[in-house]
């Protein structure tokens, strides 16, 4: 069956799914092989749960005319998403970057949703499976699509751009993330810039932070819509930025206050303001949207638990995001501060050196207690009065159980695999 025919069947369905636990009535189920399972084995179950069609790539699981046998289910999902994107012809904004992708996506979404019917990537469904699922969630009622793209190796952003075919692009920053897969920091720049290459080749538009020299260099010769604190050739001028601890920015005489922690979130707000301005959302409406947005999912959340104030930023971490979060926390003038920091993953041969750099940064602050958790931080164990090193989370949990933390402000940050939000259970 050709893609156009599969697409015709898809249009009769309410949704698409790759997980039988989330099957909706009148949906299309795509059976994708994983490392630990073969979803072809769930084809019958998907139909029993209400799927109208199932796409399989193993003839052994063919059931009826509701079964669509293809050569490769994942490739079909991707081709179907690309065909659907061509079919809808709606403007699509793509964004990637080392830090702040999801927060920026959410901010852009709330701003543009004030004026348009907007659909955006759910959660962090931003890879070779997530991007197609995002595109297939767009309908004829969608006026603007926002597609987040993640990557941990070369050519991945290029691949995702060829599926999503964005009309606009924004890269939050180039940081020290996924160094192992990209082959170092220069590899990160090269890999993320594949979005710029696509937009340049197709004569599309990029949103650019003019205060970032790398971004300016990489977008030379591409049509740009810009923001920054510089005044020359800047479309949206940012007059002021501050964080105490919540971030606020000022543009065109209007102050916008957010519920985001840390000065490093300022550019995420600036990008949302800029993109909203480009799409002719009024500034007072942009202000309302950003000021109403409250982060969740362990991303720069401000929580209160009894006597403790907690900055929970435990969704993920890399050397760049860890550095800015730590620098922001260190400059806060508070009576009792504790930083609970977990290992950063996917750094390859540079991992020990990058963890050492974070420990060295922390050593400049004598007013904060630092709890370092994980084997790479532990390998950089240093004798300092305000330093505590734990090889694993279990050792940390014992410490938190035996020595209760009270009347403190805490920063909790680490890679997703560390799951440091668990430490909340051990705070009184």
| Residue pLDDT, tens place only, 251-267 | 999 999 999 988 889 99
Provide the CB-side half-sphere exposure for 48 (13 A, CA). Answer: 7
Rounded CA-CA distance 139/149 in Å is 20
User: Which residues have C-beta within 8 Å of that of residue 282, sequence separation ≥ 6?
Assistant: none
Q: What is the pLDDT of residue 298?
A: 63
Q: What is the pLDDT of residue 187?
A: 86
Q: What is the pLDDT of residue 36?
A: 81
Rounded CA-CA distance 170/143 in Å is 19
Please give the backbone phi and psi of residue 20, each rounded to the nearest 5 degrees, phi first: -65, -20
Please give the backbone phi and psi of residue 251, each rounded to the nearest 5 degrees, phi first: -145, 140
Tell whether pTM > 0.95. Answer: no
Instruction: Give every residue of the chain whose pLDDT is below 70, as ranges.
Output: 297-298
Beta bridge partners of 54: 29, 67
Rounded CA-CA distance 88/298 in Å is 34
- Whether CATH 2.40.50.140 fits 3-72: no
Q: What is the pLDDT of residue 100?
A: 86
| Residue pLDDT, tens place only, 26-40 | 999 999 988 788 899
Confirm if 318 and 101 have CB atoms less than 8 A apart: no
Rounded CA-CA distance 138/126 in Å is 15
* CATH fold for the domain made of 301-426: 3.90.190
Phi-psi region of 224 (alpha: psi -120 to 50; beta: other; left: phi over 0): beta
Rounded CA-CA distance 314/3 in Å is 41
Rounded CA-CA distance 305/407 in Å is 10
Rounded CA-CA distance 53/13 in Å is 9
- Beta pairing class for 254-261 and 246-251: antiparallel
Rounded CA-CA distance 259/90 in Å is 31
Rounded to the nearest 10 degrees, the angle between the axes of helix 319-330 and helix 351-362 is: 10
Q: Which residue has the tokens 């430490």?
A: 423
Beta bridge partners of 310: 303, 410
Rounded CA-CA distance 2/8 in Å is 10
User: Which residues have C-beta within 8 Å of that of residue 49, sequence separation ≥ 6?
Assistant: 20, 23
Q: What is the pLDDT of residue 233?
A: 79
- Extents of the domains making up the chain: 3-72, 90-292, 301-426
Q: How many residues does the chain have?
A: 428
Find the DSSP H helices in 279-374: 283-292, 319-330, 351-362
* CATH fold for the domain made of 90-292: 3.40.1190
Q: What is the pLDDT of residue 297?
A: 66
Hey, what are 55's tokens?
């796409």
Q: Cβ–Cβ contacts within 10 Å for residue 84, how many?
A: 20
Confirm if 16 and 27 have CB atoms less than 8 A apart: yes
| Residue pLDDT, tens place only, 107-157 | 999 999 999 999 999 877 899 999 999 999 999 999 999 999 998 888 999
Beta bridge partners of 15: 27
């Amino acid at each position: 069956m050709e893609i156009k025919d599969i697409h015709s069947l898809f249009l009769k369905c309410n949704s698409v799914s790759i997980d039988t636990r989330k099957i909706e009535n009148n949906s299309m189920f795509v059976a994708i092989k994983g490392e630990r399972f073969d979803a072809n084995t769930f084809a019958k179950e998907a139909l029993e749960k209400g799927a109208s069609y199932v796409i399989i790539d193993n003839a052994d699981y063919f059931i009826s005319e509701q079964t669509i046998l293809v050569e490769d289910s994942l490739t079909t999902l991707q081709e179907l998403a690309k065909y659907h994107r061509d079919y809808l012809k709606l403007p699509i904004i793509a964004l990637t970057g080392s830090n702040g992708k999801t927060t920026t996506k959410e901010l852009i979404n709330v701003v543009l949703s004030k004026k348009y019917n907007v659909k955006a990537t759910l959660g962090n469904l931003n890879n070779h499976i997530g991007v197609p699922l995002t595109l297939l969630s767009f309908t004829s009622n969608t006026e603007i699509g926002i597609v987040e793209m993640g990557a941990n190796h070369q050519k991945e952003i290029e691949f995702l751009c060829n599926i999503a075919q964005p009309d606009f692009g924004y890269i939050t920053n180039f940081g020290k993330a996924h160094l192992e897969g990209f082959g170092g920091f220069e590899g990160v720049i090269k890999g993320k810039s594949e979005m710029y290459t696509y937009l340049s080749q197709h004569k599309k538009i990029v949103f650019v932070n003019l205060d970032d020299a790398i971004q300016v260099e990489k977008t030379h010769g591409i049509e740009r819509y810009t923001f920054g604190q510089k005044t020359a050739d800047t479309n949206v001028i940012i007059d002021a930025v501050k964080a105490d601890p919540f971030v606020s920015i000022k543009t065109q005489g209007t102050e916008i206050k957010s519920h985001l922690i840390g000065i490093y979130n300022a550019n995420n707000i600036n990008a949302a303001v800029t993109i909203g301005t480009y799409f002719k959302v009024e500034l007072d409406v942009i202000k309302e949207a950003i000021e109403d947005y409250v982060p969740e999912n362990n991303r720069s959340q401000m929580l209160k638990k009894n006597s403790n104030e907690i900055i929970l930023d435990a969704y993920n971490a890399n050397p760049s995001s860890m550095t800015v979060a730590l620098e922001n926390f260190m400059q806060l003038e508070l009576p009792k501060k504790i930083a609970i920091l977990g290992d950063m993953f996917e750094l390859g041969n540079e991992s020990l050196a990058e963890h050492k750099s974070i420990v060295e940064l922390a050593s400049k602050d004598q007013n904060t207690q630092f709890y370092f958790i994980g084997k790479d931080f532990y390998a950089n164990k240093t004798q300092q009065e305000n330093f505590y090193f734990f090889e694993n989370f279990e050792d940390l949990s014992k410490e938190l159980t035996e020595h209760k933390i009270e009347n403190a402000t805490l920063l909790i940050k680490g890679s997703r695999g560390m799951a440091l939000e668990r430490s909340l259970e051990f705070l009184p």
